[in-house]
Amino acid sequence: MRLVFAGTPEFAVPSLRVAASRGEVVAVYTQPDRPAGRGRGLAASPVKQEAQRLGLPVLQPQTLRTVEARRALLALQPDLMIVVAYGLLLPPRILATPVLGCWNVHASLLPRWRGAAPIQRAIEAGDAETGVCLMQMEQGLDTGPVLLSQSTPIGPQETGGQLHARLADLGAQVLADGLALLRVGMRPAPRPQPAAGVTYARKLDKAEARLDWSRPADELARKVRAFDPWPVAEAELAGERVRVHGAVALPLAHAMVPGSVLHAGRDGIDVACGDGALRIRALQRAGGKVVTAADYLNARSDLRTGRS
């Protein structure tokens, strides 16, 4: 087969390795280099870096909507295009160019969590499980029929970053299974997505990372996990803005105003919520590094409540 791969972030790298394992990838599409770091110099995407390591040709068009972009893809004579978190829309003519169309590896159990941030939204919503789908792409947003899928439980303390890494590997495995079927002449059977159960995972916004202490503690704990490592939950703690990197919900009855510190000791800082309390275990001051609650309290002894 002649495969074309399209992807950009770290999530797509395991799938690229699978696609390239048999020497069938004729080109890799990824987004143009972007400014990054303090110096704002141009940086290659993780997929570009991996493609270069593998010695694969890299294409970085600003858009796929031009005649030139379609001609470039046609010249590659692709049997199949594999798309994993590419970040650019594929217009109908691009979708129709490969002989077998375009496959997409998506990090949810469709139709739940179509869209940009399915991993984080699944944790934030308190889902017990998630998974990956290998989908035949069509014009709609993640609406295409599912070819293969694999589910996995979400750990009770699993963060967005941890789940991201697991699903990247699981997605690569599902892609490997689909390609193995193609190689023996067995095209995976497409299963239309059901109309019921559709949800959308909107793109993450830094503004929504602010913790509202009037909300239930279990909701805030899920947000802390979901937004780790980005954009990272922020909160007002005893008059100071901090970033919260680790927290658990406590089913604690209290009559305090939300945001009040109920307890501060080596085991954590318990903050009153609209329902229950949030125990902060790891946090970060402005301009500082991530520390445990115990280390934070060395600089904020005014918060200590006397209990260990």
Q: Is the previous residue joined to 229 through a cis bond, with omega within 30 degrees of 0?
A: yes
β-partners of residue 5 are 28, 82
Cβ neighbours around 266 below 10 Å, total: 12
CA 204/CA 218 separation, integer angstroms: 20
β-partners of residue 6 are 29, 83
CB 145 within 8 A of CB 133: no
- 111 carries a ligand binding annotation: yes
CA 163/CA 273 separation, integer angstroms: 26
**Sign of the torsion angle spanned by Cα atoms 14, 191, 118, 222:** negative
- 110 carries a ligand binding annotation: yes
CA 223/CA 114 separation, integer angstroms: 19
Interhelix angle 160-183/118-125, rounded to 10 degrees, is 130
Closest CA to 268 of 289, 254, 288, 248: 248
CA 214/CA 227 separation, integer angstroms: 19
CB 50 within 8 A of CB 58: no
- 108 carries a ligand binding annotation: yes
Return binding residues: 108-111
Return binding residues for (6S)-5,6,7,8-tetrahydrofolate: 108-111
